[in-house]
Each structure stands twice: as C-alpha cells, then as structure tokens.
Amino acid sequence: METYVSEQEQVEQLRRWWKSNGQALVLGLALGLGGLAAYRYWDASRDSQAMNASINYEAMVQMTAAQKLDDAASAGRTIIEAYPDTLYARLSGLLLAKIAVQKHDYEAAKKELEALLAADGKGEIADIARTRLARLLLAESKAEEAGKLLAQVPTRGAMDASLELRGDVAAARGDQAAARKLYAEALAGADKLGLDSDTLQLKLDNLAVASSPATKQGGS
C-alpha cells in the first residue's frame, strides 16, 4: 500500500519549509550574537553554502531518477563531506540509503541510515531514517530491534505513514491484538483518502484466520 503521508512527501515538505523559513530562523540568532555586519557576512556565507548544496542535491535527485546510481551516490557523499551542517547533507543521507536499497545492498543502506542518526538524531529527518531502518531490520526478522526504533518515532494520528509498518512489527512479535489495531487504523486512514487498501485488508484477514478457533485446533 502506498502510504497516505509518505516519507518522500515529508522530505519534500521539509525542503520547501527550509527554503521559505530557514533564513528567518537564523536572522534573530545572528543579530543577537554579532550585530548586523556579522549577520551580513554570515548570511552571505550561509546562502552560498545552502545554494551550492541545493544545486548539488538537485543534481543527485536527477541522477537517481535517471538510474545513474553510482554517480548519484558519489554526489551524495560529496554533499555530506562538503556541507555537513546543511539540511541537504541529511537529505543526501536518506537518498544514499535509498540508492543502496535499489542496488539491493541492504547492509550499505543500514550503514547510511545509522550514520545519519549518529550525526543528528533529532527532528523529522531522523524519524524518517529510524522508520526506514526499522523496515530494513524487520526484513531481516529483527522485529525487536525494529520495534525499539519505532518506539522513538512519535505517532501522528490516523494519517501516520508508519502505522502499517508498526502493525507488521507487532505481528512479527506475535502481538496480534496490537497488529490488528494498527492495521485497522491504517486501513481507516487509507479509505478516508481513497487510497488502495487491498494489502492492508489482506493482512487483517490473515490475522483473523490465524486467530480463529478452527485454525488453532488444526494446528494443535
């Protein structure tokens, strides 16, 4: 099922917000620390860094879309090394992990996400990284580790894109009641937005079959 508020949409929202508000956020801090002259110097430097990082990141996105994955990965590593304190360095970390998954190199994907979290474990990008890392761990049948990561990610109500994944983790841990509740919440959100919910419905149906008396008797 396509998630109703997908991780990629969250990333795009962050990028748009930063472009609109990033400069205003740092203005007050810079003025308080060094006055207008210091701000102008700092602002010019930051603007130049942000612009360069943005241009390089857009190029990375385009190379990824064109399936030039090695070139995109090289660009991403350059952004992280050259502009480590920018939003685009963190976005590049997410995209590097995605590229690794596309190349079926899941260990590399995990390392990219772990590095991103080690560098900055706060905020929405870090929560997206935790969610993606949890998905990789679950694929390795490491449900307990995946659950611990997801426990650090705040839920966002019925439109939470991670509800289905949380349900998958609960099911893998044998907590059918929790899995059923999470799948039902995810299903309600998908139906409300008119999205395909066949996979979620199938997961709910499978839980019902697994917990039915006939199934239990047959397995005994």
What structural domains does the chain harbor?
Answer: 1-154 (1.25.40.10), 159-212 (no CATH)
Q: Is the pLDDT of residue 211 over 70?
A: no
CA distance 187 to 124: 24
Higher-pLDDT residue of 66 and 48 is 66
Note the pTM of the prediction, 2 decimals: 0.75
Residue labelled with tokens 């995605």:
98
Query: Which helix (DSSP H) or strand (DSSP E) does residue 211 occupy?
Result: helix 198-211
Q: Is the pLDDT of residue 72 over 90?
A: yes
Task: Please give the pLDDT value at position 41.
Answer: 39
Angstrom distances, CA of residue 178 to CA of 161, 163, 165, 166: 17, 11, 12, 9
Mean pLDDT (whole number) for 69-76 = 94
Higher-pLDDT residue of 201 and 28 is 201
Task: Please give the pLDDT value at position 161.
Answer: 77
The structure tokens listed for 205 are: 């149906």
Residue labelled with tokens 């905020």:
123
The structure tokens listed for 94 are: 């997410």
